[in-house]
Amino acid sequence: PQGPEEAKAFVNAFLKRSMPKMKDEAIQDILTRKAVVLEHYRKKKTKQRKKKTKGFTAKQRREMRLFEIEPEQQRYAIFLPLHELWKQYIRDLCHGLKPDVQPHMIQGKLLKADLHGAIVTVTKSKCPSYVGITGIILQEFKHVFKIITKEDKLKVVPKLNNVFSLEIDGFVSYIYGSKFQLRASERSAKKFKLKGTIDL
């Protein structure tokens, strides 16, 4: 059996362990009361950060030649089925391209549509050598289109200072490349404002 001094020492030690943030004076003040409310401290769990898997850098992609099309694959005939798929995609997107559909509605949908597989023609350009280039868009980047022509030549055409025409089921749309310098993924979320005349 413990005496009063041992019991007091035990209680003091117990309270110090249970309430480590409190000073001795505060503990003695608590002891003068009849009821003691013990505090519970939870140990803070250190959260383990999940490591994000990093993709390839632009330099690594260039070194690995991920976006380059092999010379033996640079044939217009290979990509004609892609163009047929694109036409069906646009028809579904524009609900059939009926004659009574408002042109600005189709134009608005084409601005946000994926253009991989579309046949485009450079109609205006500040560089005369680009005018007349016609072919299927194989790749779209922020600043350029990669186009395969009927002569099986891969052309890299900048968007800046070029106007492209795009025809589907009799509807002709014009793309002003200078206002179109976005990646395909960014363009789908962008709100385009209708403007009057646009110069190169």
Q: How many domains does the chain have?
A: 2
Say yes or no: 6 and 99 in one domain.
Answer: no
| Listed residue (182, 181, 179) closest to 199, CA to CA | 179
Say yes or no: 182 and 139 in one domain.
Answer: yes
pLDDT tens for each residue of 29-49: 766 665 555 555 566 677 777
Say yes or no: 124 and 179 in one domain.
Answer: yes
pLDDT of 193: 64
Cβ 137 vs Cβ 164: under 8 Å: no
In a domain, 104, yes or no: yes
Q: Which domain holds residue 75?
A: 71-189
Query: pTM score, two decimals?
Result: 0.64
pLDDT of 148: 94
**Intervals of the chain under pLDDT 70:** 1-3, 30-44, 51-53, 190-200
Say yes or no: 91 and 13 in one domain.
Answer: no
In a domain, 195, yes or no: no
Q: How many CA atoms lie within 13 A of 136 on its CB side?
A: 20
Other Cβ atoms closer than 10 A to 108: 15
* 162-168: strand order across its sheet: 154-158, 144-149, 134-140, 119-125, 162-168, 171-176
Say yes or no: 88 and 179 in one domain.
Answer: yes
pLDDT tens for each residue of 89-114: 988 888 777 777 777 777 778 888 88
Say yes or no: 24 and 113 in one domain.
Answer: no
pLDDT of 153: 92
Say yes or no: 1 and 95 in one domain.
Answer: no
